Amino acid sequence: MTNPSSSVTSASSEVPRDGLAGFLQNSKPDGLAGLLVLEVAQPLCLGISIADADLRWVDPGHCIRRTRGKWQALRAAQA
């Protein structure tokens, strides 16, 4: 009978290096991961900023909203 854990292999059995050599060793996967996070986060942030463009918080309980070119005062419950 074989040991099931012996058939499982890791993607890289190499120990990461320190310093500049470690940076160069991991730069490609880290850069790819960073671009993936950017592609997901940027549209989300832009959507939130567009949705909140006409709503300005004055203080924690009050905000103002622009509707038809005029600013209207609101309580936080109405926003």
pLDDT digits (tens, 9 = 90+) for 31-74: 999 999 999 999 898 888 777 666 666 666 677 776 777 777 77
Instruction: Please measure the distance between the N-terminal and C-terminal CA atoms of the chain and give it in whole angstroms.
Output: 66
- Which has the closest alpha carbon to 53: 63, 62, 61? 63
Task: Write down the pTM of the prediction.
Answer: 0.45
Q: Which two tokens stand for residue 2?
A: 């074989």
**Would you list the domain boundaries of the chain?**
19-75
pLDDT digits (tens, 9 = 90+) for 10-21: 566 778 888 898
User: CA torsion 6→7→8→9, rounded to 10°?
Assistant: 90
How far is residue 24 CA from its own chain's centroid?
24
